[in-house]
Amino acid sequence: MAIRVAVAGAAGRMGETVCKAVEAAPDMELTGRADPALDTPVANVLKEADVLVDFTIPTSAVANAREAVAAAVHVVIGTTGFDPNELKDLKGANVFIAPNFAIGAVLMMEFAIQAARHMAKAEIIELHHDRKVDAPSGTAARTAALMTEASGRPVPIHSVRLPGLVAHQEVILGDVGQTLTIRHDSTDRESFMPGVLLAIRKVADLAESPTVGLERLLD
């Protein structure tokens, strides 16, 4: 049976791309599009859904997820800029959160964590389109937190917002007489779709909720 998917933020840049990807997936059915811009609240799309995908704004994502879980609908969240701890201890359905659904970005984070253990200092430059509402990006905040955990040293973040950009991140590590730069570029929102579809397929079977990070669903 097809997984029934509703999208919150369906009129937004990411939401529209997710709707198209779900419609094109043979094992999924798009059953609802929620967005104030479409005059459709999340409450109206939950009855027909197994999974709610949320690409909205930080202040809406938590409330949407609570509403979905209360209706026994699993939730996949791509929205950034909120604290995942706000979704602890919810009962009734699972929550999966990823600050970045692009496989290349997940690898960039893994390589950066590995490098942070061996080099003296690191800083992150994250670059995004100028309509992004949060700074620093969720990806940069998570990369810095994981690198700090691995190295015991703080990792400063610099944010750039310019038209023409999509989502980019550079991790620069420095040591005596050398630097190492690890860079990832999402040049198209399509880069996030395989990760989003994977999360939709796996969210019902999570061992822990919320689960944070696409790397938790790989391998």
Ligand X SMILES: NC(=O)c1ccc[n+]([C@@H]2O[C@H](COP(=O)([O-])OP(=O)(O)OC[C@H]3O[C@@H](n4cnc5c(N)ncnc54)[C@H](O)[C@@H]3O)[C@@H](O)[C@H]2O)c1
The stretch near ligand X (CB under 6 A) out of 13-21, 44-52, 117-125, 146-154 is: 13-21
Q: Pick the closest to residue 78 from 216, 212, 218, 219 (CA basis).
A: 212
x/- binding map, residues 134-173, to ligand X, per CB under 6 A? x--------------------------------x------
Binding residue (CB under 6 A) for ligand X from 49, 53, 69, 100: 100
Task: Return the percent helix, strand and coil in the chain, to nearest 5.
Answer: 40, 25, 35
x/- binding map, residues 48-87, to ligand X, per CB under 6 A? -------xxx--x---x-------------xxxx------
Quote the least distance from Cβ 87 to ligand X, whole Å.
Answer: 15
- Lateral strand order in the sheet of 121-128: 157-161, 121-128, 167-175, 178-186
- Among 74, 132, 168, 184, the one annotated catalytic: 132
Using CB under 6 A as the binding rule, whether residue 9 contacts ligand X is answered as yes
CB contact burial 42-68 (16+ within 10 A = b; e otherwise) = beebbeebbbbbbbbbeebbbebbebb
Residues designated catalytic: 128, 132
